[in-house]
Amino acid sequence: MDLSLTEDQLFMRDEANRFLAERASSETVRAAIASGGHDPTLWGSISRELGWCGIAIPEDDGGLGLGAFEMTLLLEETGRRLTPVPLWTTVSLSAPIIRALAADDARPGLLRRIASGDLAATVALPRPSASDPFEAIDFTARLDGSRWRLSGRCAAVFNLASADLVLIPARLTNGLGLFAIERGLISGIGALDTLDPTMPVASLSLHGITVEDDARIDRSEFEASAFAAPMLWARLGLAAEQVGAASGCLELTLAYIGERVQFGRSIASFQAVKHRCAELLVRIGEARSLLYGAAQSLSAGEEQAEAEIEGAGVLASEALWRAAEEAIQLHGGVGNTWEYDPHLYLRRAQVTANLFGSTETKLARIALNLPEAAA
Amino acid sequence: MSEQDLSAFRAEVADWMKAHLSGRFAVLVDRGHAGDGDALPDLRMEWERELAAGGWTCPAWPIEQGGRGLSISEQVAFQEEYARAGGPGRLGHIGEGLLGPTLIAFGTDAQKRRFLPPIREGRAFWCQGYSEPDAGSDLANIKTRARQDPETGDWLVTGQKVWTSLAHLSDWIFVVARCEEGSAGPKGLIFLLMPLDQKGIEIHPIRQIGGGSEFNSVFFDNARASADCVVGQPGDGWKVAMALLGFERGISTLGQQMGFARELDLIAALARENGAAESSAISNRIARAWIGLRAMRYMAMRMLADGADPQAKLESLGYKYQWSHWHRDLGKLGMDVLGFSGAAATDDPRTEKLRQLFFFTRADTVYGGTSEIQLNIIAERGLGMPKEPRGNAG
Ligand SMILES: Cc1cc2nc3c(=O)[nH]c(=O)nc-3n(C[C@H](O)[C@H](O)[C@H](O)COP(=O)(O)OP(=O)(O)OC[C@H]3O[C@@H](n4cnc5c(N)ncnc54)[C@H](O)[C@@H]3O)c2cc1C
């Protein structure tokens, strides 16, 4: 396994960083917050012009054919600025589920549309804060002639309002089916007022909506456990955004404390302040290292990939939480104002901390199948 | 080197270890590591010569200097297989890993010819004379004096070094001393090579918190370093001393991690056996240790990849802090898994190992730059924050 970044990877990361510094500044993020947490112009550039949605989609399906590692590099950059676009839900959550579960006649078309930037997608997760977010699926689907009729609800769907396509798992007579439904067909959407305005969430209710036969995209009925493998990508992508956000938050803090003077000296010269920033860097470096290793393990199909991704989730969400908490503390009074950005990171940190399981649940899952360390 | 060649190389090391770390050497398995560093010294010296005979001392040195010129991935493979086999703590480490590379970089040809072969052959053991009572974190505050004997050109050294690991088992010491009267800080220092067995040197063991004595005070009273035993120029000792510390980091960390992994596996196994793992608080801490170790491994790989990624370079400043705190937490976890049975001495080697680990890991965050000094370095060099002010006392 090689964890050095190739020239191409470095270039991609630096270009993404440069692009977002310009296009996802604090002002634009705040403007997007004021209009529902989505920046359609920026999303247009990212999805259509830059082609980021195709990052991990095979070339045969119109993507760039790169792997989990490149995906993490991009999501770190969007995370760094809390970029209000549905990239994570599209590339890490939806595309891998389509690749894993969609039938041959549906898959290439959908992936191609995602890769080309035509389609922002999301997934209805019945239990987003559970280790298995697909337990207790409420949606049911039954055949009505040649069409399907779907009913049920889902309390929280990420980036629903900006999605073009929603993937909905529904119970059939025996197992599950996966439905891909244009968002425009859905009327029961209720935006939630969640903590994090840069990552909008909405509830979704379907009251016997009928869709064409081809809206069902799976190969054949399946068990909820079939989601486990593609969901590794979603977990990894989430951790990537958290690591990026933690770095962005530390940068914000360093910039502020470098300017602020008390007792006739820069507050950045106080050792208590220095040490806390240094500790943050250590935590972030630790999380980023595991993130990269886990991404490579996932691509290489290593056995411990699952535990590593779970672990990266733990370290990433803790690093982000700590970075946000320290940012507010080290900003002092202004850290408690709406005007300064630390609270945006605090919001992201808290909302994501419990996605796909709390830290304790994640640790317990690793402990249950603890891989040998000296293997 | 291809993956295939590399695994063949791994197998070669593993086979050699299996064949040789047996018979009379079998008692050395897992012995002599930090906290147990003074265990079975005579047999461990013989083990060094066994390694030398197999060509496994100094494999990272260039071929011209008698090494094998191993690539980074081969060095990693060697370190990992050595540790996986339970290879004992290396008495030759300071000569092989620190002084040797320093001489290769800064030594004269005569010094290389004289000092490198005995290190490689496992016949000369070295210790590090840097710290002094008043020069710890502030290492540049060295007071030990070296003055030149005008007749012979030799250097006469007077002063005290402290915390000198394994001095009592060593033949030679490298010493940083002040050679310019009235100089201060990093200026006016000299890097000297001195035989320990001489009239002007006394070694006093210091008892550690775990009960053992791996380190010592070394007293110098007009002790002699011959004129040709100066490394670099007199006055340039700081540069040499710092370069030597640079060799301390790097490859051996992956071997060290293999040792950590074995410790963690031992703790996890004990927790399953004695039921401690049934507590989710304990099993979650074990899981956390596993995560931390994976993160450490990938951090080391990012460091060794040494590519153009400035982020990796920056974050590698945190490596010492990361591993030392991880290890210190592991030391506590081991005792918490044992519960009260860890409080009482037993003849169970596994319990004894964890008791040693508990005490020795306290030192991990002190030697080689304390955690506070690490954080200063990260903040100043990594994050560009202002430097610590210096005072005038002492
Ligand atoms: C097991 C062991 C083996 C060792 N082996 C060797 C050896 O072989 N050769 C050798 O030369 N040395 C050796 N050392 C010495 C080691 O390098 C020193 O102990 C270490 O550098 C700390 O110096 P000190 O003990 O004087 O502590 P001090 O420097 O007095 O530090 C005491 C406390 O003050 C803190 N402190 C000091 N300065 C600052 C600052 N600027 N900002 C914030 N906090 C500060 C420290 O972090 C520490 O917590 C060994 C030490 C140990 C424990």
A221 close contact with B: CB closer than 8 A: no
Q: What is the model's pLDDT at position B248?
A: 67
- The Cβ of residue A244 has, within 10 Å, a number of other Cβ atoms equal to 29
Interface of A with B in 302-361 (CB under 8 A): 304, 307-308, 311, 314-315, 360
For A258-309, the pLDDT digits (tens) are 999 999 999 999 999 999 999 999 999 999 999 999 999 999 999 999 999 9
- Whether residue A223 contacts residue A297, with contact meaning beta carbons closer than 8 Å, is answered with no
Share of chain B above pLDDT 70, in %: 98
Q: Which residue has the tokens 């001495």?
A: B345
Q: Is the CB of B245 under 6 A from ligand 1?
A: no
CB neighbour burial string for B113-136, b if at least 16 within 10 angstroms, e if fewer? ebbbeebbbbebbbbbbbbbeebb
CATH code 3.40.50.970 for A123-222: no
Q: What is the pTM of this model?
A: 0.96
Residue extents of the structural domains in chain A: 7-119, 123-222, 226-374
Instruction: List pLDDT tens digits, range B66-94.
Output: 999 998 889 989 999 999 999 999 999 99
Q: Are the Cβ atoms of A366 and B291 closer than 8 angstroms? A: yes
pLDDT band at B35 (very low <50, low <70, confident <90, very high): confident
Whole-angstrom distance between the N-terminal and C-terminal Cα of chain B? 53
Mean pLDDT of B301-316: 86
pLDDT range class, residue B249, cuts 50, 70, 90 = low
Q: Ligand 1 centre from B133 Cα, in Å?
A: 10
> Where on the phi/psi map is residue A14: left (φ > 0), alpha (ψ -120 to 50), or beta?
alpha
Which residue among B212, B236, B260 closes a domain? B236
> Using a CB-CB distance cutoff of 8 angstroms, which residues of chain A are in contact with residue B261?
373-374
Predicted confidence at residue A247, as pLDDT, reads: 98
CATH number at residue B287: 1.20.140.10
The answer as to whether B107 is a domain residue is no
Asked whether the beta carbons of residue A364 and residue B284 sit closer than 8 angstroms, the reply is yes
The number of domains in chain B is 3
| Predicted pLDDT at A250 | 98
* Whole-number pLDDT of residue B394: 60
Question: For chain A, which residues score pLDDT lower than 70?
Answer: none
B222 and B261 both lie in a single domain: no
Contact A134, A224 (CB under 8 A): yes
Q: Longest C-alpha distance within chain A, in Å?
A: 79
For residue B308, is pLDDT > 80?
Answer: no
Looking at beta carbons, which residues of chain B come within 8 Å of A6?
A: 307
Contact B378 A311 (CB under 8 A): no
Task: Give domain status of residue B388, yes or no.
Answer: no
Percent of chain A with pLDDT over 90: 98
pLDDT for res A337: 98
Summarize pLDDT for B135-159 with one digit per residue, the tens.
Answer: 999 999 999 999 999 999 999 999 9
Within 10 angstroms of residue B356's Cβ, the number of other Cβ atoms is 20
Q: What is the pLDDT of residue B71?
A: 87
Q: Which CATH architecture has domain A226-374?
A: Up-down Bundle (1.20)
Regarding whether B373 and B255 lie in a shared domain, the answer is yes
Q: Which domain holds residue B131?
A: 126-236
Q: What is the CATH number of the domain that holds B10?
A: 1.10.540
B312 is a domain residue: yes
Judgement on whether residues B263 and B373 belong to the same structural domain of the protein: yes
Looking at residues B340-348, what average pLDDT do you find? Answer: 90
**B254/B377 same-domain check:** yes
The answer to whether residue B12 is catalytic is no
| Catalytic option among B248, B315, B352, B380 | B248
User: B158: which strand partners?
Assistant: B145
Q: Please indicate, yes or no, whether residues B308 and B255 belong to a single structural domain of this protein.
A: yes
What pLDDT sits at residue B250? Answer: 62
Q: Which of B112, B102, B124 is nearest to B49 (CA)?
A: B124
The answer, yes or no, to whether any atom of ligand 1 lies below 6 A from the CB of B215, is yes
Has residue B318 been placed in a domain? yes
Higher-pLDDT residue of B254, A227: A227
Topology of domain A7-119, CATH: Butyryl-Coa Dehydrogenase, subunit A; domain 1 (1.10.540)
Helix axes B72-84, B252-274, angle to 10 degrees: 30
State the pLDDT at residue B254.
Answer: 79
Measured CA to CA, the distance from residue A190 to residue A24 in angstroms comes to: 27
pLDDT on residue B72: 83
- Does residue B101 form part of some domain? no
Looking at B46, B76, B91, the residue that finishes a domain is B91
Give yes or no for residue B1 having a pLDDT over 80. no
Is residue B210 located within the same domain as residue B288? no
In this prediction the ipTM stands at: 0.96
Q: Report the distance separating Cα B218 and Cα B169, nearest Å.
A: 13
Q: Residue A281 and residue B380: Cβ atoms within 8 Å?
A: no
Q: What value does the mean pLDDT of chain A take?
A: 97
The per-residue pLDDT for range B346-392, each reduced to its tens digit, is 889 899 999 999 999 999 999 999 999 999 999 999 999 999 998 88
A209 touches chain B (CB under 8 A): no
How much is the mean pLDDT over chain B? 94
Q: Over 70: is that where the pLDDT of B251 sits?
A: no
Give the pLDDT confidence of B177-186 residue by residue, as tens digits. 999 999 999 9
Is residue A92 a contact partner of residue A98, using CB atoms and an 8 Å limit? no
